[in-house]
Chain A
Amino acid sequence: MTAAITAALIGVLLAGAILYLVRRDHLHGSFAIWWLTVAAAILVLGIFPPVIDWLGSITGIYYPPILPITIGIGMILIRLLKMDVDRSRSERQIRRLTQKLAILEQELRDAKDTHAMPAAVEPITPTAPIQRTAGGR
C-alpha cells in the first residue's frame, strides 16, 4: 500500500508543479496538457496498481511491471524527437529573421541616405513639407 501512496504523491506533486508553472507563465499551454496527462497517468497507475497487471494480460506481456517503464521510455523518445523537430523549425525561423533583419536594415540605411541628401543641399523650411520620392527602393 505504501507503494501506492508514493506513486500518488509523485503524481500529485508533478501535477501541482505543472499547474504552478502554467500559472507563472513559464510553460506554454500545449506543453502543460502533455505534462498533466503524464501526471494523471502516474496518479492512476500508482493508486490502482492492478491496472498494470490488467494491461499486461491484454498485451500479453509476461512481466507486467516492465510495461510502464517501456511505455515511459517510448514516450520520452517521442517527446525528444518532437523537440528536435520543433527546434529545426525555430532554427529555420531564426535564420530567416536574421536575413530579413539585415535586408531591412540595409533598406532603412538606403532610405535615410536618399532622404538626407536633398536636405543637405536645401534645408527644409516649415512651409515646404518633405517630399517622398515615389517608387523608392
Chain B
Amino acid sequence: MIPARNEGATVGEIVRGVQSSVDCSVLVVDDASDDPTADTAREAGAIVLKLSNRLGAWGATQAGMRYAQRHGYRTVLTLDADGQHHPMQLPGLLEFHRQSGTDVTIGTCSERLSNAKRLAAGYFRSITGIAVQDFTSGLRVYGRRAIRALASREASLLDYQDLGVLMLLRKKGLILKETPTQMSPRRSGGSRVFSSWRMVARYMMHTTVLCFAQVGTRARIGRGPRRTEPAA
C-alpha cells in the first residue's frame, strides 16, 4: 500500500517495481492530489483509493488499512511513493516479518537518519519507552491484528503516522520490531514533517502532549485480563 500526495512523477514506477518484486495487490491511496497521481497509478495497474479531501499521510494510510480489513488481507506492507524505498527490499522485509512473528515490522535505515531525528528518537524513547530508531519510517509491514487496531475509530484522530500509531499498537499489546534496510534520498519533495523549524516545533509539541496523555494506559492494559501474550 502506497499513500501518495502529488507524487505523479514517481508513483507509476514504484507501482510497477512493487508488482515485479512481490506477488501482491498494490493499493495506492491518493490524498487529494492536484496532479494526476491517481490516474498514473491506475494505469500502472494499482487499485486506487482517491480521497476527496486532504487527510494527511496517516489519514491516507488508514484509508488503506480499512480497505485491507474490508477485503480480508492478512498483511499490509506500506512504502512511500517518493522513491526512497526500493521495491527490491520488500521480499526480504516480508520474510523477516513472517519469520519473526511480530505484528509490525519497521524497515529502518540508520545511515539516513539525521542528527535531529536521532535526538528526537532519544527524547521520545525517554518519555514513552518505545525503543524504535527510525519512528518516522514509512516502510512498514503490518499483520492482521495491527490492521484491525489501525482501522479502528480510535486511530482516526491521529495526525502523524509515527509515534501515536506505535503507542496505539503497543497499548493493544502488539509486538514491534525493526530491521535494517537500504534507502535512497528522496527524489521529489522533502520530508513532510521535518521541512521547517515551525513544523518541527509543532510536531514535537503535538507528539509530546500525545505521549503524556498516554501515560498509564499501558500499565492498565498490562494488568487487565485481555493480555495478548501468553503468560509464562
Contacts and interface: CB of A to CB of B under 8 A. Distances in A.
Report whether chain A binds chain B.
Answer: yes
Interface in B31-83: 47-53, 55, 59, 62-63, 66-67, 70-71
Interface string A97-137: 01111110110001000000000000000000000000001
B157 A103 contact: no
A137 B67 CA distance: 11
Contacts of B50: 102, 105-106
Nearest to B32: A98
Interface residues of A, number: 15
- The range of chain B's interface size is 10 to 19
Most B CB atoms within 10 A — which of A99, A101, A103? A99
Contacts of B48: 106
Main SS of chain A's interface residues?
A: helix
Given A106-B49, A137-B71, A99 B153 contact: no
Given A92-B157, A96-B153, A96-B156, A106 B55 contact: no
B29 interface: yes
A24 interface: no
Nearest to A89: B157
Contacts of A98: 51-53, 55, 59, 63
